[in-house]
Amino acid sequence: MNWKQGFLSGLVLSTVVAVLSPMVQSITFTYITPHFFENIIKYVVAHKIQTQSQAEMYFNLKSYTIQGIFGAFSFGVLTSAMVAFVLKTKVDSNEK
């Protein structure tokens, strides 16, 4: 496997994870922790970390979905590049 093949494999995997991220976010914040946003907004406002309006703009499903998509894709691409570099096989000098 050369670096390009490893990187492209990681890129495909990163894309799949990024595409599935909104569904996972929706399930998590609708069924598993339905009061997460209410609770975190109360917490950051009570501890004077953010104002009520700042907290409401940041802590919501749309914001977390966007962060999830871009976070998964960007970290996936970065990780793919590093892992592909480490795992690439050495080219035999007779094959060049």
Indicate the pTM of the whole model.
0.80
Helix-helix angle 61-87:3-27, to 10 degrees: 160
Give the integer Cα–Cα distance in Å for 76 and 17.
9
Q: How far apart are the first and last CA of the chain?
A: 14
Per-residue model confidence (pLDDT) at position 54: 97
Mean pLDDT of 23-46: 97
Give the integer Cα–Cα distance in Å for 1 and 43.
49
CB of 6 closer than 8 Å to CB of 83: yes
Mean pLDDT of 88-96: 62
Q: Indicate whether 77 pLDDT > 90.
A: yes
Give the model's confidence band at 15: pLDDT under 50 very low, under 70 low, under 90 confident, else very high.
very high
